Structure formats: structure tokens, C-alpha cells
Amino acid sequence: MLFVVSGAMRPSVGQSRSDLLAPIEKSQFARVSSHQDLLNYLDVLRNHSPLITTEVVGSTTHGRPIPLVKVSSSTFGSDRAKLRVFLFSSQHGNEPSGKEALLILLKSIALGERTDWLKTIDLLIAPSVNPDGNEAGRRQNG
């Protein structure tokens, strides 16, 4: 498994915007991201931005990890004045657009385009809460 739980690794110098294209953007919107694409991309984002950390919060009946992304300008949850916002998607496996949108939002954050938001909020993002359904292309989970 290539998914790495949060750590200290950060981007190499010279990483370009095109290196951060979301999987659906790389396919020119021709195919939705697989669960492995999602996991690999979360590693890329986490390694690029100190604002983004990841962890696995569970696994599916088919053993797929369910990732959770924490986005904060400080230690997540340490500033009690900040609103905590939880975004989740793909609870219905055959509805992938939310997952793709959240990956593009995370790219925008990793590129520093949403730092103003992080002055007042911390984000929790679960981009795919039904990976088994997503992989099978069906509404139900495993």
C-alpha cells in the first residue's frame, strides 16, 4: 500500500503546478479516480503542503483504507476560536463527482490558494467514505 499516514516529508524544490494535477485532471476528465489514485494523490498533496495531514480512520469490508484529511494553518483543533468544518463525499459509490471536487479543492489548498480560509476554519475532509461502492460503480457499500 502506498498510502502514508502523516509525516514530516515535504516537497522537493521545483515541484510545479502540473505535478499537483488531480487524477481526474490528468485524465482530462475522461475517467474518475480509482481508490488507489485517490490514496496516491493524497500522499502527493500531504508531501507538498504542511497545511495537509492525513490518517486512516477505518477500513471497508473489502479492506480498503478510509482516509481522512486534516487541513489547518496550525495544529488541527488547537485553536478553539476556529470553526471546524467536515466535508465528506462518495457515500454513494456511483456518485463520484463530490470526491473529484474535494480532490481539486485540496489541490487548491496545497497550492496556497485558500490560506485566507484557514485563518478562521480547520477542515476535515473524507473524500471517499464508500471506497468499495466507488470501485464497483454501485451505490451500496461492500
Instruction: Give the confidence band of 14 by pLDDT, cuts at 50, 70, 90.
Output: very low
**Distance between CA atoms of residues 118 and 109, nearest Å:** 9
Q: Domain 21-136 has what CATH class?
A: alpha beta
**Distance between CA atoms of residues 115 and 126, nearest Å:** 20
pLDDT in tens, 56-87: 999 999 999 999 999 999 999 999 999 999 99
**Distance between CA atoms of residues 78 and 13, nearest Å:** 29
pLDDT above 60 for 135: yes
Q: Where are the domains of the chain?
A: 21-136
Burial (CB < 10 A; 0-12, 13-18, 19+), residue 11, is middle
Q: Which residues pair with 137 in a beta bridge?
A: none
Strands 121-126 and 65-71: antiparallel
Residue 33, H or E segment: none
> pTM score, two decimals?
0.86
Other C-beta atoms closer than 10 Å to the C-beta of 133 total 22
